[in-house]
Amino acid sequence: MTEPVAEALARALAGLVEGEVRALDEITLLIPGERIVEALELAKARGFVLLSDLTAVDRHPEEPRFEVVYLLTSIEPPARIRLKVRVVSSEQVVPTAVPVFAGANWLEREVYDMFGIRFAEHPDLKRILMPDDWEGYPLRKDFPLVEEPVQFFGHVPKVPSEIIPKTPRPS
């Protein structure tokens, strides 16, 4: 059964919600990007004081291509809710959540670094995991996979494509 506090938040956010999914006793609310800060402020005021995670999903080749996912937790009473913002590949910008949840700072930098989604008004949006001169965004589905040889002394291993069996793809 979905927690009453999550149900109450879903009702309070009804005017902002574009869509709703209920699965496995959890609520996911789809929020327009330009209203996400408002939704996060309302959620925090209603007891969802912890931004447990902020991540993204690449739905390539679908459009909108990306979803930014905010996992919110209420400590007392215990409850969880998920907010999502869809991002089309031509825009790739979402308002920052840092003014509402300071912990979003690092999480937004990680999403930027891995997916290339920018957060408008972010206080320090720069790479956090990859080197500064890295080109591309490694968690995008269209990021090229390459094999880089690793230097070993006394043994030359085979590259993965030589040892991983080829399995036919289902048609």
Phi first, then psi, for residue 93 (nearest 5°) are: -135, 135
Query: CA 158 to CA 168: how far, in whole Å?
Result: 22
Confidence band, pLDDT 50/70/90 cuts, at residue 158: confident
Express each pLDDT in 5-64 by its tens digit: 888 888 888 888 888 888 888 899 999 999 999 999 999 999 999 999 999 999 999 999
Higher pLDDT, 37 or 156: 37
Phi first, then psi, for residue 36 (nearest 5°) are: -65, -40
Domain 4-163 falls under CATH 3.40.640.10: no
State the pLDDT at residue 1.
45
Express each pLDDT in 102-112 by its tens digit: 999 999 999 99
Express each pLDDT in 50-76 by its tens digit: 999 999 999 999 999 999 999 999 998
Confidence band, pLDDT 50/70/90 cuts, at residue 163: confident
Structure-token match 């080197």, residue found = 131
Express each pLDDT in 69-96 by its tens digit: 999 999 988 989 999 999 998 889 999 9
155 pLDDT exceeds 80?
no
Phi first, then psi, for residue 2 (nearest 5°) are: -65, 140
Q: Enter the tokens of residue 19.
A: 């869509």
